[in-house]
C-alpha cells in the first residue's frame, strides 16, 4: 500500500494480458488472513496435485484489484456476500458459479440458500458461503462494563479510550444503535442519506472520545492489549483472541444486534484455474478441514458439522458472547446497491475532516 499504487494498478492493467501463462493447476487465491492456513494448503496440494498461491487482502482491495484487471490475476476470491451483486452489475468482474460442481451437502443449507439469493445477478449465482462472523463490541469488561451498544462508545466513562474503524460497518452499526434501520432504507437513497446524515452528526460529536480510528486488526489488538483502548467496535474473533490473554476482554454483541457478514467464494471473470477452484471449495468445506480454518481464523464456517471439530474454548467464547436471543438479533448484511458507497463516502470524509 504505497502512494504510487495507482501506477501499480495501471501497470497491472497493462500487464494483465501477459499473466496467462500460469499453469492451470496453480490456484491463485485472493483471500483474508486465516482463511487458507498452511496445513490446509499442504493437505490440499498433496491430495490434488494443485499448487496454491495465496494473496491476503480485504473486501475493498479485493474488488479494486479485480476491477483493475477486469477480473484477472486470480482464480478464486473471497469477498463478503453483500459486496458481490453490486460490483458484478457495475464492473462485471466475476463469473457465474456452476452449482453442479459444488457439493451442496457439505454446506449449512440455510446459509447456502441465503448467499445464493444475495449473490444472484440476472439468473446467475455468483457466490457460495465460506466463513461467517459478526461485528460488535470488543470490551474490557472491567473498565467498560457500562458499554452495551455502539452509542455507549460516546459516553464520558470511556472518553479517550475508544476506537472504531472509519468504514461503512461503523455507520451501519451506529444507525441501528440509534434506533434506525439502514438495511430497510437500502433501496431508497433519500431515506438512506437522511439516516447517514444523522449518523454523521453523532459520529462527529463522538470524535473527541476516539483515541484513533483503527485500520488493521493487528493495530486494534495492540491498542486493546496495552489497555490504551477499553472499548471498540470490532470483529468477534478479535475479542475472542484477546480473551485468551486477558479474561476481562471479550466480544459483546451490542443490544441493537451484531452485524453479521458471510465471506464467500467467487470466481473472478478471467480466472484460469476453475477446476482447481472448485476442488478447493469442495476440499475446504469438509467438516474436518473447516475446523482447521475455524481454528486459524477464529470464525465459524458454513460447513455442515464442522462445529463438532471446533475447540471447546472457542465454543465457550462463542456461547458467552452470543446468548440465543443475540444470535436471533444478528443483522445480516443485505447486498449493497450500487451508489450507496458514494453517500457513505461523503459522510466518512466529513467525519474525518471534522474537528
Partner 1 sequence: MAQGTKLGFYLLLTPLVLWLGLLIIIPHIDMALLSLRERVGVGEYATSLANYRGFFGEPIYMWTFLRTAMMSMLATVVTLIIAFPVSYYIAKIAKGRVQSVLFLLCLVPFWVSELVRTFGWMILLRETGLFSSLLQWTGLADGPVEMLYNDVAMMVGLVYTSMLFMVVPLVTMLESLDDAVIEAGYDLGGSGASVLREIVIPHAMPGIVSGSIVVFMLSLGNYLTPTMLGGKDSLWFTELIYSQFIVRFNWELGAAFGFMLLILSSLIVWVTLRLTGQTLEKTMGS
Distance CA 310, CA 284 (A): 15
The piece of 139-147, 179-187, 208-216, 262-270 that touches partner 1 (CB under 8 A) is 208-216
Instruction: Supply the DSSP string of 67-130, one letter for each residue.
Output: HHTTS-S-SEE--BGGGTHHHHHHH--EE---GGGS-GGGB-HHHHHHHHHHTEETTEE--EEE
Q: Which of 110, 207, 305, 323 binds partner 1 (CB under 8 A)?
A: 207
Identity of the residue, 101 or 352, whose beta carbon is nearer to partner 1 in the bound complex: 352
Identity of the residue, 10 or 99, whose beta carbon is nearer to partner 1 in the bound complex: 10
Distance CA 140, CA 251 (A): 9
43 lies in the site for partner 1, by CB under 8 A: no
Distance CA 131, CA 133 (A): 7
Q: Who's near 282: CB < 8 A, 6+ residues apart?
A: 102, 103, 106
Distance CA 153, CA 160 (A): 10
203 lies in the site for partner 1, by CB under 8 A: no
Q: How far is the CB of 188 from partner 1 (least distance, A)?
A: 17
191 lies in the site for partner 1, by CB under 8 A: no
Q: Which of 39, 42, 60, 98 binds partner 1 (CB under 8 A)?
A: 60
Distance CA 323, CA 80 (A): 25
The piece of 124-132, 240-248, 306-314, 339-347 that touches partner 1 (CB under 8 A) is 339-347
What DSSP state is assigned to residue 303?
Answer: B
Identity of the residue, 26 or 58, whose beta carbon is nearer to partner 1 in the bound complex: 58
Q: Which of 19, 56, 64, 178 binds partner 1 (CB under 8 A)?
A: 64
Identity of the residue, 287 or 334, whose beta carbon is nearer to partner 1 in the bound complex: 334
**Closest residue by Cα to residue 172 from 163, 185, 157:** 185
**Closest residue by Cα to residue 317 from 229, 235, 261, 218:** 235
Q: How far is the CB of 343 from partner 1 (least distance, A)?
A: 10
Matching residue, cell 449518523: 199
Helix axes 236-245, 217-225, angle to 10 degrees: 40
Q: Spell out, one character per residue from 291 to 330, where the chain touches partner 1: x when CB under 8 A holds, - when not.
A: ----------------------------------------
Q: Which of 38, 42, 49, 89 binds partner 1 (CB under 8 A)?
A: 89
Q: How far is the CB of 53 from partner 1 (least distance, A)?
A: 22
- Within 10 angstroms of residue 96's Cβ, the number of other Cβ atoms is 18
End-to-end CA distance of the chain: 27
Site for partner 1 in 250-289 (CB under 8 A): none
Identity of the residue, 2 or 105, whose beta carbon is nearer to partner 1 in the bound complex: 2
122 lies in the site for partner 1, by CB under 8 A: no
Q: Beginning with the edge strand found earlier in the chain, give each strand of the sheet holding 76-77 in spatial order.
A: 51-56, 26-31, 76-77
18 lies in the site for partner 1, by CB under 8 A: no
What DSSP state is assigned to residue 272?
Answer: S
Q: How far is the CB of 87 from partner 1 (least distance, A)?
A: 7
Q: Are 291 and 314 in contact (CB under 8 A)?
A: no
Q: Which of 45, 55, 67, 287 binds partner 1 (CB under 8 A)?
A: 67
346 lies in the site for partner 1, by CB under 8 A: yes
248 lies in the site for partner 1, by CB under 8 A: no
Query: In the beta sheet, which residues pair with residue 51?
Result: 26
117 lies in the site for partner 1, by CB under 8 A: no
Distance CA 85, CA 230 (A): 37
Which residues make up the interface to partner 1 (CB under 8 A)? 1-7, 9-11, 13-14, 60-61, 63-64, 67, 87, 89-92, 160, 166-167, 207, 210-213, 215, 226-228, 338, 341-342, 344-346, 348-350, 352-353, 355
Amino acid at each position: 500500500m504505497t502512494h504510487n499504487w495507482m501506477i501499480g494498478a495501471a501497470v497491472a492493467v497493462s500487464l494483465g494480458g501477459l499473466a496467462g501463462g500460469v499453469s492451470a493447476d496453480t490456484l491463485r487465491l485472493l483471500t483474508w488472513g486465516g482463511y487458507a492456513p498452511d496445513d490446509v494448503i499442504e493437505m490440499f496440494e498433496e491430495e490434488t496435485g494443485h499448487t496454491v498461491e495465496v494473496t491476503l487482502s480485504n473486501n475493498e482491495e479485493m474488488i479494486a484489484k479485480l476491477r483493475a484487471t477486469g477480473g484477472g490475476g486470480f482464480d478464486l476470491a473471497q469477498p463478503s456476500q453483500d459486496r458481490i451483486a453490486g460490483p458484478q452489475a457495475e464492473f462485471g468482474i466475476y463469473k457465474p458459479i456452476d452449482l453442479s460442481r459444488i457439493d451442496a451437502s457439505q454446506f449449512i443449507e440455510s446459509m447456502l440458500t441465503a448467499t445464493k439469493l444475495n449473490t444472484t445477478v440476472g439468473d446467475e449465482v455468483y457466490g457460495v458461503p465460506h466463513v461467517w462472523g459478526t461485528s460488535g463490541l470488543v470490551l474490557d469488561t472491567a473498565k467498560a462494563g457500562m458499554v452495551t451498544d455502539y452509542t455507549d462508545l460516546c459516553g464520558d466513562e470511556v472518553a479517550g479510550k475508544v476506537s472504531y474503524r472509519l468504514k461503512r460497518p461503523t455507520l451501519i452499526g451506529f444507525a441501528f444503535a440509534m434506533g434506525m434501520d439502514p438495511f430497510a432504507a437500502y433501496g431508497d437513497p433519500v431515506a438512506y442519506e437522511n439516516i447517514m446524515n444523522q449518523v454523521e452528526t453523532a459520529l462527529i460529536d463522538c470524535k473527541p472520545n476516539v483515541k484513533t480510528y483503527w485500520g488493521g486488526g493487528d493495530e486494534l489488538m495492540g491498542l486493546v492489549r496495552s489497555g490504551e483502548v477499553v472499548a471498540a467496535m470490532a470483529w468477534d474473533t478479535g475479542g475472542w483472541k484477546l480473551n485468551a490473554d486477558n479474561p476481562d476482554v471479550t466480544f459483546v454483541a451490542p443490544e441493537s444486534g451484531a452485524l453479521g457478514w458471510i465471506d464467500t467464494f467467487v470466481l473472478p471473470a478471467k480466472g484460469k484455474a476453475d477446476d482447481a477452484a472448485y476442488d478447493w471449495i469442495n476440499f475446504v468445506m469438509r467438516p474436518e478441514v473447516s475446523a482447521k480454518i475455524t481454528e486459524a481464523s477464529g470464525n465459524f464456517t458454513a460447513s455442515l458439522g464442522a462445529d463438532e471439530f471446533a475447540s471447546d474454548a472457542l465454543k465457550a467464547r462463542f456461547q458467552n458472547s452470543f446468548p440465543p436471543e443475540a444470535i436471533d438479533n444478528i443483522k445480516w448484511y443485505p447486498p449493497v446497491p450500487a451508489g450507496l458507497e458514494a453517500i457513505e463516502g461523503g459522510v466518512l470524509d466529513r467525519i474525518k475532516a471534522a474537528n
